[in-house]
């Protein structure tokens, strides 16, 4: 069972528009009565997971179902282990892959990708009383930064923060504990993981996010897109139309607020 941090009215945020919407672009709709089978990773919170009742839940799941509603289509969601997702899409046992596999040349060879609706980002955290105003290279020079050992985030720090003391830990939890106890000055890692830790019980209220997010596609960033089965470009275009409308209507922002307790940008 996945326990999601609660978003209160006090911490609700406005989400910047991630997708560039062309209002003049023609809307693409699938024929009425079309039924789509959606596939998602069964253990990939906050994007997709099994709820306490066993039903599919998560940000990607709800966004896709909202898109289906916008298109007036009937859609079902099947949660499967990560390793089964691409083979099921390839075999025709599903129509749209919501999340899970990295978007790579292999993934793109299995289907048609919508325009991205989110991407993975990097973020720093420090103890709540730390007066640093931002995580610039100059301000963190000579300071100890915790990170997961041999991770993409560690590789990024080694490249851009060579003037800091990089302190690797075997697990994200160990790196988080090092910041909580003051063994290091800062922590760097995945944006959403950082948010859930800072806002959740494990941090014991010790820490805060420092500055905004970082993007680097050479290391830790990846696009979140829906992958439609090969040969169904109409479905891909229809999903893109629906995702644009959901952003314009504020539905995407509402869903992010429901699943991500602090602004992910």
Tens digits of residue pLDDT in 205-256: 999 999 999 999 999 999 999 999 888 999 999 999 999 999 999 999 999 9
Instruction: Kindly list the distances between the CA atom of residue 101 and the CA atoms of 48, 82, 104, 240, in Å, as whole numbers in the listed order.
Output: 12, 7, 8, 20
Q: Do 35 and 100 lie in a common domain?
A: yes
Give the separation between CA 222 and CA 49, rounded to whole angstroms: 19
Whether 163 and 136 have beta carbons less than 8 Å apart is answered as no
Encoded tokens for 245: 């409308």
Q: Do 208 and 239 lie in a common domain?
A: no
Q: Do 115 and 246 lie in a common domain?
A: yes
Q: Do 19 and 109 lie in a common domain?
A: yes
Residue 3 domain flag = no
In the block, residue with structure tokens 């916008």: 70
The CATH number for 171's domain is 3.40.190.10
Tens digits of residue pLDDT in 95-141: 999 987 666 656 656 679 999 999 999 999 999 999 999 999 999 99
Q: Do 147 and 114 lie in a common domain?
A: no
Task: List CB contacts of 40: < 8 A, sequence separation 6 or more.
Answer: 47, 48, 56, 58, 60, 61, 64, 77, 78, 79, 80, 85, 97, 98, 99, 100
Q: Do 113 and 68 lie in a common domain?
A: yes
Q: Do 192 and 227 lie in a common domain?
A: no
Per-residue model confidence (pLDDT) at position 104 = 61
Residue 2 domain flag = no
Mean pLDDT of 68-83: 94
Residue 16 domain flag = yes
- Annotate 135-155 with b (16+ C-beta within 10 A) or e (fewer): beeeebeebbbbbbeebbbbe
Q: Do 115 and 13 lie in a common domain?
A: yes
Residue 1 domain flag = no
Q: Do 191 and 234 lie in a common domain?
A: no
Residue 164 domain flag = yes
Tens digits of residue pLDDT in 160-212: 999 999 999 999 999 999 999 999 999 999 999 999 999 999 999 999 999 99
Give the separation between CA 96 and CA 54, rounded to whole angstroms: 21
Percent of the chain with pLDDT over 70: 92
The H or E element spanning position 235 is helix 233-249
What is the extent of the structural domain holding 161? 122-214
Residue 265 domain flag = no
Per-residue model confidence (pLDDT) at position 1 = 43
Residue 4 domain flag = no
Q: Do 229 and 190 lie in a common domain?
A: no
Helix, strand, coil share of the chain (percent; to 5): 35, 25, 45
pTM of the model: 0.89
How many domains does one find in the chain? 2
- Compute CA 173 distance to the chain's CA centroid, rounded to the nearest angstrom: 19
Q: Do 103 and 38 lie in a common domain?
A: yes
Widest CA span in the chain: 62
Residue 115 domain flag = yes
Give the separation between CA 46 and CA 14, rounded to whole angstroms: 19
Please, what sign has the CA dihedral across residues 191, 256, 211, 19? positive
Per-residue model confidence (pLDDT) at position 245 = 94
Q: Do 35 and 115 lie in a common domain?
A: yes
């Amino acid at each position: 069972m996945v326990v999601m941090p609660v978003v209160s009215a006090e911490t609700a945020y406005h989400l910047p528009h991630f997708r560039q919407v062309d209002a003049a672009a023609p809307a693409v709709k699938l024929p009425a009565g079309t039924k789509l089978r959606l596939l998602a990773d069964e253990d990939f919170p906050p994007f997709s997971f099994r709820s306490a009742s066993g039903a599919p839940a998560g940000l990607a799941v709800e966004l896709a179902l909202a898109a289906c509603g916008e298109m007036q289509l009937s859609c079902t969601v099947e949660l499967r282990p990560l390793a089964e997702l691409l083979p099921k899409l390839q075999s025709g046992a599903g129509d749209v892959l919501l999340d899970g596999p990295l978007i790579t040349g292999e993934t793109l060879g299995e289907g048609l990708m919508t325009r991205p609706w989110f991407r993975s980002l990097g973020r720093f955290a420090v103890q709540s009383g730390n007066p640093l105003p931002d995580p610039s290279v100059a301000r963190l020079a000579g300071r100890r930064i915790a990170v997961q050992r041999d991770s993409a985030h560690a590789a990024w720090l080694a490249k851009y923060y060579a003037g800091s003391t990089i302190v690797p830990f075997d697990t994200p939890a160990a790196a988080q504990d090092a910041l909580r106890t003051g063994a290091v000055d800062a922590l760097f890692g995945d944006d959403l993981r950082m948010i859930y830790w800072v806002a959740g019980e494990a941090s014991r209220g010790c820490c805060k996010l420092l500055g905004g997010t970082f993007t680097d596609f050479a290391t830790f960033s990846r696009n979140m897109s829906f992958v439609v089965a090969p040969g169904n470009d109409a479905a891909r275009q229809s999903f893109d139309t629906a995702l644009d409308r959901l952003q314009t209507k504020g539905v995407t922002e509402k869903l992010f607020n429901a699943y991500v307790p602090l602004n992910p940008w």
